[in-house]
């Protein structure tokens, strides 16, 4: 039976089938019965309505009741991509409808109809076996992960080279200068790494979802909003980087070491604008699985910045300041090399909407909410590492322990270069799959990423054990510092596989847009539990800096267990639906709603 009004079509299934009402309407229109379907005059009381007409009229009244009441809730349900209860359902439904037994069963949920493309993607995935998807995604992951791995390695090599140069600029004060460099790197990791890279994590997630859902204009709107968010953070970053010495002294660090570290922080302030520009462009290209330009940019940047730092440090009076200037030079080169790639990008050329500040501002709150969660996620993860360095500065022989810990953190970063490539590539692929509505594929990718993370970090631990001693000697000629660093590396080898698995788990949180949950777990496991346990091991059991790391290891184990429980309980279908529709603009040109019993 089909009832037509000028702007509404209502399809009613036969009584012996599952009742479905499909409503299609332009936004903002109020659904009212037309003159053709509304009775023209009231029949006299004595008039008898033929049985053949009684059922259509009752059905018509029921339709109007279902349409007029919950229309606004239906629209909000679609916009929020949710399933919500509908008025008129439940035990009081018959009373509200004025019937003891309604002819049409009432619907009690509002379900959003998937679009044609989303249904096709899910149907195509359902025809493939799990092994077929794993085989295809393994190839795609390797295609993205290998160049991403090279890019991450080449991004870390400049810092590694600068750190090695730093200890040789002044042989007499090499330990003090190296300790100051590690402290300045610590502040940079907390501010630049925690804030800028944390926001970048949120923007990566939103861009990968938008690209997976084929909302290309939305992708560029997100990058415009991201630029605004980054600019809003600049004053805070400037204040912190310019307050290096008083801040470090207040945290209990040696005044002489803090003085050198503050000078290095002022130099590092020069790289912040270039880091922001690079992060925005990287998010846009990574979402499209484009990573080769980052490899080339990082390679050229590494070569040129290392040469520039060497010349400035050893052939000018600048000394260690000349080494620090190599980092801003490197970031500037990266921006200059990646910018032409973005401007010639096919998606950019075809879908760039032009700068629209009002549209960008409208997206700032959503980026801000996810960005704060991402910043907290990365900050709480780094807090565990950072507190180890700060607490090491309060132990006896602080300069030796800080330098040794810096060498260990450096070898840790080197060992995780391949792992980070896998995790970043996995987060991109999971984000694309979720944005396309392919929940099953995203779940399988998450299992691939975590398995690969554990395997790669285990192999890396074996390699680190072999190179520990010569690696430590490359940083400083001080024999005592080298010995402490070598012992620390060998004692903490079990930490590498644990951190590898935790990084793989974090990439899943990141791809799913669950940064806030990950931040909460990081805070509880690494800060609330890890730091106190580390202090107990270091002081009560006289384990020194290795005890501080043992506390972090215990917190990492708790994080991994909690992550596994979350992964088993989560609904990938819901996350795929949220990713597909989460960043869709609120103004719809047309809305499809199905009310299903």
The pLDDT tens digits of the residues spanning 269-301 come to 999 999 999 999 999 998 898 888 988 998 999
pLDDT band at 171 (very low <50, low <70, confident <90, very high): low
Whether 526 contacts 555, CB under 8 Å: yes
Name the average pLDDT for the chain: 76
Mean pLDDT computed over 18-29: 44
pLDDT band at 193 (very low <50, low <70, confident <90, very high): confident
Neighbours of 176 (CB within 10 A): 18
Q: pTM score, two decimals?
A: 0.63
Of 80-94, 266-280, 340-354, the poorest mean pLDDT is in: 80-94
* Res 164: pLDDT: 78
CA separation for the pair 107, 87 (Å, rounded):
9
The pLDDT of residue 181 is above 50: yes
DSSP code of residue 22: E
* Res 559: pLDDT: 92
For the sheet with 20-25, list strands across it: 20-25, 591-596, 109-111, 84-85
CA separation for the pair 186, 390 (Å, rounded):
9
* Res 339: pLDDT: 94
pLDDT band at 118 (very low <50, low <70, confident <90, very high): low
Model confidence pLDDT, tens digit, residues 544-564: 788 888 888 999 999 999 999
Strand 20-25 and strand 109-111: the pairing is unpaired
* Res 418: pLDDT: 79
Strand 20-25 and strand 84-85: the pairing is unpaired
CA separation for the pair 225, 302 (Å, rounded):
30
* 3-state secondary structure (DSSP) of residue 23: strand
Burial class (CB in 10 A: 0-12, 13-18, 19+), 426: buried
Phi, psi of 595 (to 5 degrees): -105, 110
CA separation for the pair 487, 490 (Å, rounded):
5
* Res 582: pLDDT: 59
* Res 558: pLDDT: 93
Nearest to 431 by CA among 513, 504, 375: 513
* Res 172: pLDDT: 67
pLDDT band at 391 (very low <50, low <70, confident <90, very high): confident
pLDDT band at 332 (very low <50, low <70, confident <90, very high): very high
Nearest to 230 by CA among 286, 293, 273, 186: 273
Q: Which residue has the higher pLDDT, 166 or 583?
A: 166
* Res 366: pLDDT: 85
């Amino acid at each position: 039976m089909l009832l037509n009004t000028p702007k509404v079509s209502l399809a009613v299934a036969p009584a012996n089938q599952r009742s479905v009402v499909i409503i299609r309407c332009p936004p903002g229109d109020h659904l009212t019965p037309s003159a053709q379907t509304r009775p023209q005059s009231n029949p006299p009381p004595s008039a008898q309505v033929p049985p053949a007409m009684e059922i259509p009229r009752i059905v018509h009244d029921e339709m109007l009741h279902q349409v007029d009441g919950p229309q606004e809730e239906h629209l909000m349900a679609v916009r929020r991509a949710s399933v919500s209860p509908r008025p008129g359902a439940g035990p009081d439904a018959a009373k509200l409808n004025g019937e003891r037994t309604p002819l049409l069963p009432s619907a009690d949920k509002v379900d959003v109809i998937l679009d044609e493309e989303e249904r096709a993607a899910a149907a195509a995935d359902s025809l493939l076996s799990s092994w077929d998807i794993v085989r295809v995604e393994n190839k795609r992951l390797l295609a993205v992960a290998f160049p991403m791995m090279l890019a991450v390695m080449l991004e870390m090599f400049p810092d590694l080279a600068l750190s090695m140069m730093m200890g040789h600029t002044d042989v007499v004060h090499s330990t003090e200068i190296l300790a100051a460099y590690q402290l300045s790197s610590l502040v940079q990791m907390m501010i630049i790494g925690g804030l800028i890279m944390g926001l970048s994590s949120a923007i990566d997630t939103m861009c990968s979802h938008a690209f997976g859902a084929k909302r290309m204009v939305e992708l560029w709107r997100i990058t415009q909003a991201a630029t605004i968010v980054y600019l809003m953070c600049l004053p805070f970053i400037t204040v912190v980087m310019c307050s290096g010495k008083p801040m470090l002294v207040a945290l209990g660090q040696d005044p002489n070491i803090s003085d050198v570290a503050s000078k290095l922080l002022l130099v590092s302030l020069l790289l912040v604008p270039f880091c922001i520009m690079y992060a925005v462009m990287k998010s846009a290209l990574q979402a499209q699985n484009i990573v080769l330009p980052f490899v080339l940019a990082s390679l050229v940047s590494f070569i040129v910045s290392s040469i520039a730092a060497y010349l400035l440090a050893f052939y000018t009076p600048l000394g260690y300041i000349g080494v620090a200037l190599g980092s801003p030079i490197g970031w500037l080169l990266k921006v200059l090399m990646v910018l032409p790639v973005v401007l010639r990008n096919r998606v950019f050329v075809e879908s760039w909407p032009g700068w629209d500040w009002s549209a960008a501002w409208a997206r700032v709150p959503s980026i801000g909410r996810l960005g704060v969660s991402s910043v907290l996620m990365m900050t709480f993860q780094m807090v565990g590492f950072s507190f180890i360095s700060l607490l090491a500065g309060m132990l006896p022989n602080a300069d030796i322990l800080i330098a040794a810990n810096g060498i260990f953190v450096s070898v840790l970063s080197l060992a995780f270069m391949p792992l980070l490539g896998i995790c970043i590539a996995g987060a991109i692929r999971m984000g694309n799959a979720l944005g396309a509505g392919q929940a099953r594929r995203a779940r399988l990718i998450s299992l691939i990423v975590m398995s690969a993370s554990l395997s790669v970090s285990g192999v890396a631990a074996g390699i680190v054990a072999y190179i520990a001693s010569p690696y430590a000697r490359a940083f400083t000629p001080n024999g005592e510092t080298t010995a402490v660093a070598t012992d620390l590396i060998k004692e903490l080898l079990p930490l590498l596989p644990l951190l590898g698995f935790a990084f793989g788990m974090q990439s899943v949180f990141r791809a799913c847009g669950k940064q806030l949950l990950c931040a909460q777990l990081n805070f509880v496991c690494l800060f609330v539990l890890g730091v106190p346990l580390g202090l107990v091991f270091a002081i009560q059991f006289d384990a020194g800096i290795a005890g501080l790391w043992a506390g972090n290891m215990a917190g990492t184990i708790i994080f991994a267990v909690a992550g596994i429980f979350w992964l088993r309980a989560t609904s990938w279908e819901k996350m795929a639906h949220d990713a597909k529709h989460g960043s869709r603009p609120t103004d719809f040109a047309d809305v499809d709603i199905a009310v299903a019993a």
